[in-house]
């Protein structure tokens, strides 16, 4: 499925999260406060005291001890919740990555740029083929969602 909207219908928001903030929880709160119906991570840099990730094919969380640098954060936000993946590196440069879970505490900073729009809605609906709630974007109604 592909869905297009005008770039002029997208705004950007920069957020700096301070030490002690929970990365996922904070980003969900920021998105929920924007009134947007769809969002996506444009960029993120920062550090964590440790990370809580769900690795591919696993049901539970894996704790990655820190301190850690955020190497990459990507994903989408919508009214049904976010789908976020993160890669982090430790003091030796060893990398780990997976689904971003609550419990990733900012160490010094997390500088995040989000793209936001009301032109489309990023719903998540259960896909019978995968068994997961997958992205199901749709055009927003007149005047937004």
Mean pLDDT, to the nearest integer, of 116-138?
Answer: 95
pTM: 0.92
Bond before 40 cis per omega within 30 degrees? no
Mean pLDDT computed over every residue of the chain: 95
Q: Are strands 133-139 and 95-100 parallel, antiparallel or unpaired?
A: unpaired
Distance of alpha carbon 31 from alpha carbon 78, whole angstroms:
8
Would you state the pLDDT for residue 141? 76
The continuous run of DSSP H or E covering 60 comes out as none
Would you state the pLDDT for residue 142? 66
Flag whether pLDDT at 107 surpasses 90.
yes
Distance of alpha carbon 6 from alpha carbon 57, whole angstroms:
36
The pair of structure tokens assigned to 72 is 């990459």
């Amino acid at each position: 499925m592909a869905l297009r909207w005008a770039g002029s219908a997208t705004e950007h928001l920069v957020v700096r999260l301070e030490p002690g903030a929970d990365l996922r929880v904070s980003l969900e709160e920021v998105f929920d406060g924007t009134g947007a119906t769809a969002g996506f991570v444009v960029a993120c840099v920062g550090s964590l005291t440790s990370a809580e990730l769900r690795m591919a094919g696993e049901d539970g969380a894996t704790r990655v001890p820190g301190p850690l640098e955020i190497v990459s954060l990507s994903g989408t936000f919508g009214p049904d919740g976010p789908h976020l993946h993160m890669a982090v590196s430790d003091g030796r440069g060893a990398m780990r990555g997976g689904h971003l879970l609550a419990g990733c505490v900012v160490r010094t900073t997390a500088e995040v740029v989000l793209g936001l729009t009301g032109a489309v809605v990023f719903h998540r609906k259960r896909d019978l083929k995968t068994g997961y709630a997958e992205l199901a974007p749709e055009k927003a109604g007149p005047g937004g969602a």
